[in-house]
Chain A
């Protein structure tokens, strides 16, 4: 048998003070209702999921519908339990969908010819511009035949010497609009002036590679 002294502390431990007893009494029903509501929401959501899986038409009671809507709403509402997951998922899909910009190549503008020209070249460029302007106005006799012959002869010598010495550059720049007819007439004239035949030109080109 146990003595009454020994039982006494047990009794005091079990019995609560009047204040704490009142608090627990007030909290208990609130907790119970919250748990009940959550359970009801879960049940409603499970019912809908089961119906969806079975492809049966979903028939819910009014209360079930309210719980289901609440469950859905809480699932996606900001700060809700699943909102973090949902936002992470949407960010992931958005990232996957966004097309990536891949730079395939960069093509720089053609380098401008800023080579410093000497005084004679500057004069030559200015003179050529004057000639072009006169030609554009239709002044075909802007340059006399003697002047043309002198210029052509000098240019032939300078260009030929440069080519032979290895300083190779095209005789016309890419931006000069000279027609094929112009070129053929001028080449023909030069060959004729030097008493050369076209086959001699071809033979010489194949030998020298110039």
Chain B
């Protein structure tokens, strides 16, 4: 495992993504709310480009006390969706949203000044 330079922090705006190949690994690097996250770009379902689909806020249904629905609402938590078959992963953990046992491989990110490195 070595630090691999992937870009300048100033080049990433919030919400930007970058897909890089390091050796045989494809890694998606996200900048979300000022933090960097890096995950394997191979979807756990059928190997689709997991990090290249939509980024979408998590939808939750709000219920009244008597359990009647107040409709669906977007939360502040962000997910990203594999464009092949819609597997949805948590931006901050890489876990599949409906089955937390399924998890994309996460790579650590190191920021040294303006330089961003992924440990792969």
A residues apposed to B, CB below 8 Å: 98-110, 135-136, 138, 175, 177-179, 182
Partner of A177, one of B4, B15, B26, B59: B59
Residue B13 at the chain A interface, CB threshold 8 Å: yes
Most buried by A among B2, B13, B21: B21
Residue B102 at the chain A interface, CB threshold 8 Å: no
Query: What separation, in Å, do the CA atoms of A158 and B86 have in the docked complex?
Result: 34
Beta-carbon contact of A175 and B70 below 8 Å = no
Beta-carbon contact of B13 and A109 below 8 Å = yes
Query: What separation, in Å, do the CA atoms of A175 and B16 have in the docked complex?
Result: 19
Interface contacts (Cβ under 8 Å), in number, total: 67
B57 proximity list for chain A (CB < 8 A): 175
Beta-carbon contact of A138 and B64 below 8 Å = yes
Beta-carbon contact of B70 and A103 below 8 Å = no
Partner of A182, one of B13, B22, B59, B71: B71
Q: A101-B21, A104-B19, A106-B16 are in contact. List 11 more A-B contacts (CB 8 A).
A: A99-B2, A99-B4, A101-B22, A104-B20, A105-B19, A106-B19, A109-B17, A110-B55, A136-B62, A136-B73, A177-B73
Beta-carbon contact of B18 and A99 below 8 Å = no
Beta-carbon contact of B73 and A103 below 8 Å = no
B21 proximity list for chain A (CB < 8 A): 101-102, 104
Known: A98-B2, A99-B4. A136 touches B70 (CB 8 A): yes
**Binary flags per residue of B1-42, CB closer than 8 Å to A gives 1, else 0:** 010111100000111111111110010000000000000000
Residue B120 at the chain A interface, CB threshold 8 Å: yes
Beta-carbon contact of B64 and A109 below 8 Å = no
Beta-carbon contact of A177 and B120 below 8 Å = no
Beta-carbon contact of A110 and B15 below 8 Å = yes
Partner of B5, one of A101, A135, A138, A179: A101
Beta-carbon contact of B52 and A175 below 8 Å = no
Partner of A103, one of B13, B18, B59: B18
Beta-carbon contact of A179 and B64 below 8 Å = no
Beta-carbon nearest neighbor of B32 in chain A = A109
Query: What separation, in Å, do the CA atoms of A108 and B72 have in the docked complex?
Result: 28
Beta-carbon contact of A109 and B14 below 8 Å = yes
Query: What separation, in Å, do the CA atoms of A108 and B17 have in the docked complex?
Result: 6
The 27 listed contacts between A and B (C-beta, < 8 Å) are A99-B22, A99-B23, A99-B120, A100-B22, A100-B23, A101-B4, A101-B5, A101-B21, A101-B22, A103-B18, A103-B20, A104-B19, A104-B20, A104-B21, A106-B17, A107-B16, A107-B17, A108-B15, A109-B15, A110-B15, A135-B70, A138-B70, A175-B74, A177-B59, A177-B71, A178-B71, A179-B71
B74 proximity list for chain A (CB < 8 A): 175, 177
